Structures are given as structure tokens and as C-alpha cells.
Chain A
Amino acid sequence: MKPPPFEYQAPDSLEGALAILAEHGDEAKVLAGGQSLIPAMNFRVAQPTLLVDLNGLAELSYIRQADDGGLLIGAMTRQRQLELDELVAESAPLLHEAMPHIAHPQIRNRGTLGGSLVHADPASELPVVALARGATMRVRGPDGEREVPAESFFLGMFTTDLQPEEILVEVALPPMPANAGWSFKEVSRRRGDYAMMGVGTLVTLDEKGVCQQASLVYLNAGDGPVAAPQAAEALQGEKQTPEAVEAAAVKAAEDEIEPFGNVHASVEYQRHLARVLTRQALETAFERAAASLKNGG
């Protein structure tokens, strides 16, 4: 037995879970997949006095097509389900491409979408995808439901806009724009390790192959998922040329990300990785967008 003693409750409804949180607030901690919380408890870094286990809430585990063609995903959907789901592969290719990078299959069998987003580890993949794709978080609390766009959800290191008495219930991904290309790339020392650097990107082209919109978001590059809006903006109006791609990569890697460096990778090396990964990711994204253009969007 590693963690210090705590109370445990496993409500059988979302209402029940919210009622417990309303009563206990700060002292309670929600248990989703537990793949980050339980190690932290084993090390006694986290010492919640009450765990509210959401694993009995089947109502929070689903992947559905939204009316607008996007996806609605229940917060307790397991990462392994997302990885293998055909609807995700078709309608959310950036998410699909990111999934195998998350830890190992055994971890993805338990880990959940919502748990990872709420944990907000700057080195994790799902916040990057949420921000790059402009996801909307649907949050339930004592006063009902509110929607939080990804860009105001992530507030910093392990910190989100979620309040102690609230639960993230659903993540809404907008439909992929027409003529869009995507790419998710990262470098880790061993497969399944936390990546030293990673990037998720999305590029949208007009019918002439000119970039209309781009987004670039990085992991392990600051105190949360880190966007590079200036590099993305510089790509607008550009075609896929080595110069345009390299300029964006340099801008993002040198000016916009703020990696901390660690024992595995110095800041300089992280910036180097960011530049190379951005170049590769943008090339892939441009090519995929061009292929989509060829196939009529």
C-alpha cells in the first residue's frame, strides 16, 4: 500500500458525482483513468482525502458524430477506444494520429480523454490536439453546464479552468475544414516515453493551393500546450515552398515556444527538434491538404 488513506466513493450517476463534489469541493479529487493520478498518489505527491471514481459512469463514455459533422466524445472514453475507433480515424485524423504516441497500450486501456485534458500535463498529447483543433470542453457543475473553448481551458502547468466542484463531461471537436491537411509528430528517447518535443499542425488550402489558415501547437514547449500563432499567421497566403515552411519553423522554434529543458534534452536541443519537427509536420500537412484538394475536398 503506497498512498496515504483516503475515502472512496463510486457514484453511479453524473448527478451523484456532482453532488459529492458540491459537498466536498477542494478535498475531493475525481478519479478517471488514474494513469497519472495513481502514480502521483503512490509517490504521495498527491494526497486527496476523497476520491470520486467516475469509472462507473457509462454515460460519459461515447464517440458520436455531431450534427455539424464534428465529433462529440464523452470525457470517460478510454484512449485505446479513441485509437481504434473508425469514426475518429475518418473525422478527426489529427487526434487519430496522436493516439499511439500516448504512453503504452496498457496505459491507453485505462487512460481517458477527459482525464488527460484535465490533468493538463504540458508534455501530453491530447491538450495539443484539443488546442490545435479548437475543441470545446463541456463542463458540468452545480449551476449547470458551461462550454469552454480549448484556448481558455488550459491555464498553465497542470492547471485548467475546471473548478473543484465541476466535471468535464464532453469534448466537442469541430468538423475538419475542407482542403485541410494535418500532422502530429514527436520525438521521444524510447517509444512510449514522454516526448522531448512534439507538434500538432493543421493547414487549410484554397483551390489554388494557397494556405488560408494554419495552426501549430507544441508539447513540452512551455507550461501547457503552446501555440505558435505568429508562425501560423506567416503561413497564410503562402504556397508550400521550402522557404515558407522553414521560415515558419524557425519563427515557432526560436521565438514562440518556451521549452524549459531537462535532463534528457537541453533547451537548445528542444528548439532544434521543434524546428525539424515543424518542417516535417508542415510538409506532411500541406501534402495531405493538396491531396484532399485533388479529391475535391
Chain B
Amino acid sequence: MNISLTVNGETYEREVEPRMLLSDFLRHELGLTGTHVGCEHGVCGACTILFDGDPVRSCLMFAVQANGHEVMTVEGLAEDMDDLHPLQEAFWETHGLQCGFCTPGFLLTLLPFLEENADPSEDEIREAISGNLCRCTGYQHIVDSARLAAEKMREG
């Protein structure tokens, strides 16, 4: 099937088999390997992307379903290494990652959450990231990162 979609502001057209998962499409067809693939059944959250602005599991959608829609991946967060998004800066500064495998999913889960909740409590943050697994940090530093990011985003 021929599909056309927007990823990080750029339009792509590709021919895909219906069975190709959106996560695999982003990685293998578009070379956007920032979207990580963990469990492939919707449990780990590593493949979280924004689909028309909402965080979803890209392993639980087919690429053909993205036809005509807008996707944002972790590559869309910053222009380059010297101009990170405040959310990325916050993760860097508070050690919100160790191996980094889960990080893209956390970032894209937190982005719309922090845009809607300028000053979330720790409980609200933990609820927001409950669908993302991290095997390194024990989550404490991720919660710290989210709080710092909220502060940075409030200041603009």
C-alpha cells in the first residue's frame, strides 16, 4: 500500500506491506532509529511516539494506519545536539537515564503531559510515566528530571 505521512514536520511517501508495524516503519524505512523497540506488545513503552499529538505505542499500530496523519519521534525534539529541548536538558542534568534505551519513550510520554500540566506533583508524574519501564534508574531520577523539565518549560 502507498502511504503518505508527516514525521517531525517532514512528509514521507512509501510503499509498505499492511503488516509492517509503525515502529518498524520509522526505524527501517525512515531510518529514524531513535524510536526503540522493546517488548513489541505494548507493555514497555520504549516505542512511544506522538500520533496527532497524543502519546501512543508505535508497536501497536500498523504503518498503514498512519496514512495522512502526523507523527513525532524523539528526533523531532531538538534541531541539533547544541540546542536540546528543555526536557532533554533536564534528563541530562538530573541523570534521568543510564543506558538510555527507555529514554525516547519517556521523553515523548512526558512532553504532552508537561505541556498540559505546568506544575505536576510527584504522584501525577508517576501516574503519567506508569506505562514506561526503566530497568536502570529506579525511576527516582526520571521523576526528578520531569520536575526540572516542568520548571524549565514554565520559564520558557
Q: Quote the shortest CB–CB distance from B146 to chain A (angstroms).
A: 14
User: What residue in chain A is nearest B105 (Cβ atoms)?
Assistant: A106
- In the complex, the answer to whether B127 meets A191 with C-beta atoms within 8 Å is yes
Which residues of A are interface residues toward B (Cβ below 8 A)? 1-8, 10, 34-35, 38-39, 42-43, 51, 53, 55, 80, 103-107, 109-110, 190-192
Besides the known contacts A38-B21, A190-B130, 19 further A-B residue pairs in the complex with CB atoms under 8 A apart: A5-B17, A7-B18, A8-B18, A8-B62, A10-B67, A38-B42, A39-B41, A53-B64, A103-B42, A104-B131, A105-B109, A105-B113, A105-B130, A105-B131, A106-B57, A107-B57, A107-B60, A107-B131, A110-B60
Q: Quote the shortest CB–CB distance from B132 to chain A (angstroms).
A: 8
List CB contacts (< 8 Å) of B98-125 with chain A.
109, 113
- In the complex, the answer to whether A1 meets B21 with C-beta atoms within 8 Å is yes
Q: Quote the shortest CB–CB distance from B85 to chain A (angstroms).
A: 19
Query: Measured between alpha carbons, how far is A192 from B18 in the docked complex, in Å?
Result: 29
Interface code B37-71, partner A: CB below 8 Å = 1, 0 otherwise? 00011100100100100111101111011010000
- In the complex, the answer to whether B131 meets A106 with C-beta atoms within 8 Å is yes
- In the complex, the answer to whether B21 meets A8 with C-beta atoms within 8 Å is no
Q: Quote the shortest CB–CB distance from B62 to chain A (angstroms).
A: 7
B153 within 8 A of A: no
Residues of chain A within 8 A (CB-CB) of B21 are: 1-2, 38, 42
Query: Measured between alpha carbons, how far is A191 from B67 in the docked complex, in Å?
Result: 33
With A1-B17, A34-B61, A39-B60 already in contact, the answer to whether A107 and B1 are too (CB < 8 A) is no
Query: Measured between alpha carbons, how far is A150 from B123 in the docked complex, in Å?
Result: 36
A-B contact pairs, 18 of them (CB 8 A): A2-B21, A2-B40, A5-B18, A8-B18, A34-B62, A35-B60, A38-B61, A39-B40, A43-B41, A53-B64, A103-B131, A104-B131, A105-B109, A106-B48, A106-B109, A109-B55, A109-B56, A191-B130
User: What residue in chain B is nearest A8 (Cβ atoms)?
Assistant: B18
Query: Measured between alpha carbons, how far is A4 from B17 in the docked complex, in Å?
Result: 11
Query: Measured between alpha carbons, how far is A7 from B67 in the docked complex, in Å?
Result: 16
Q: Quote the shortest CB–CB distance from A176 to chain B (angstroms).
A: 27
Residues of chain B within 8 A (CB-CB) of A192 are: 130-131
Query: Measured between alpha carbons, how far is A251 from B55 in the docked complex, in Å?
Result: 43
Interface code B62-86, partner A: CB below 8 Å = 1, 0 otherwise? 1011010000000000000000000
List CB contacts (< 8 Å) of B4-30 with chain A.
17-21, 24
B128 within 8 A of A: yes
- In the complex, the answer to whether A35 meets B42 with C-beta atoms within 8 Å is yes
- In the complex, the answer to whether A1 meets B20 with C-beta atoms within 8 Å is yes
Q: Which of A38, A43, A105 contacts B55 (CB 8 A)?
A: A105
Total A-B contacts with CB atoms under 8 angstroms apart? 88
- In the complex, the answer to whether A42 meets B40 with C-beta atoms within 8 Å is yes
Q: Which of B24, B65, B126, B131 contacts A1 (CB 8 A)?
A: B24
Sort A-B residue pairs by CB-CB distance and give the 9 closest, nearest first: A104-B131, A8-B18, A39-B41, A109-B54, A191-B130, A38-B60, A3-B19, A106-B55, A192-B130
User: What residue in chain B is nearest A111 (Cβ atoms)?
Assistant: B60
- In the complex, the answer to whether A42 meets B1 with C-beta atoms within 8 Å is no
User: What residue in chain A is nearest B49 (Cβ atoms)?
Assistant: A106
Q: Quote the shortest CB–CB distance from A121 to chain B (angstroms).
A: 14
Q: Quote the shortest CB–CB distance from B69 to chain A (angstroms).
A: 10
- In the complex, the answer to whether A53 meets B65 with C-beta atoms within 8 Å is yes
Q: Quote the shortest CB–CB distance from A43 to chain B (angstroms).
A: 7
Q: Quote the shortest CB–CB distance from B152 to chain A (angstroms).
A: 22
- In the complex, the answer to whether A4 meets B48 with C-beta atoms within 8 Å is no
Interface code B122-145, partner A: CB below 8 Å = 1, 0 otherwise? 000011101100000000000000
Query: Measured between alpha carbons, how far is A131 from B20 in the docked complex, in Å?
Result: 37
Residues of chain B within 8 A (CB-CB) of A7 are: 18
With A105-B131, A106-B109 already in contact, the answer to whether A8 and B24 are too (CB < 8 A) is no
With A8-B64, A34-B61, A38-B60 already in contact, the answer to whether A107 and B42 are too (CB < 8 A) is yes
Residues of chain A within 8 A (CB-CB) of B59 are: 38, 42
Query: Measured between alpha carbons, how far is A6 from B64 in the docked complex, in Å?
Result: 12
Q: Quote the shortest CB–CB distance from B66 to chain A (angstroms).
A: 10
